[in-house]
Structure 1
Amino acid sequence: MGVWPQYHPAGRRRVQERLATYLQQLLDDQSPHPMFWAACMTCEEQSPGADDPDALQLWCLQHSGRTSHESFRCEITTHGRVFPANDGT
């Protein structure tokens, strides 16, 4: 039984090289900025999404002040775009 190319080390390397060629994260003004969220690990109340990490920190501090809860899960969502290679492969 043969090994699928994507699972063979050399095939995996080719896939990684192609991904590195195809994937380009846009950091210019046209791309969406990262979004930040937090959720309390005690009561699961969630913050509104914010594009400023300081707003997230403020929400956590305010929630902790109101509830004495101390643990939070924070998430950051970033965006990227995929461009095909010039030769279409």
Structure 2
Amino acid sequence: MGGRSVWRFADWVLQVDTSGSGPIFEAECTTCGESSGAADSKDEPEVWSLRHAGRFGHTGFRAMTTSFFRATRAESGGVRR
């Protein structure tokens, strides 16, 4: 006797997750790979980049922003949370 499979399909919605911390900002030197470290504000990595440029003459930086998302199942008539 064979098994029976049931398939259920659902729509999903991806939203920015505001339940935890906000975005995380970081800068990385594209010359030497040194990093500013993670910060809650973009100001800290920007200041670090300017100081690093002044100290070492390196002028290229990679700006990284990490945001968090959460997937939730959509219901008819609105999004379920």
Whichever of the two has the greater Rg, that structure is 2
Q: Which of 68, 71, 75 does residue 64 from structure 2 map onto? A: 75
Partner in structure 2 of residue 25 of structure 1:
16
The structure that is strand-richer by fraction is 2
CA separation in 1, counterparts of 2:24 and 2:16?
Answer: 15
The structure that is helix-richer by fraction is 1
Identity across aligned pairs (percent)? Answer: 36
Amino acid at match of 2:62: R
Question: SS of the residue aligned with 1:24?
Answer: strand
Q: CA RMSD in A?
A: 1.6
Runs of 4+, deviation exceeding 2 Å: none
TM-score (norm 2): 0.71
How many pairs does the alignment contain? Answer: 66
Partner in structure 2 of residue 37 of structure 1:
26
Q: Which runs of 5+ in 2 are unaligned?
A: 1-10, 77-81
TM-score (norm 1): 0.66
CA separation in 2, counterparts of 1:35 and 1:78?
Answer: 7
Partner in structure 2 of residue 56 of structure 1:
45
Q: Which runs of 5+ in 1 are unaligned?
A: 1-17
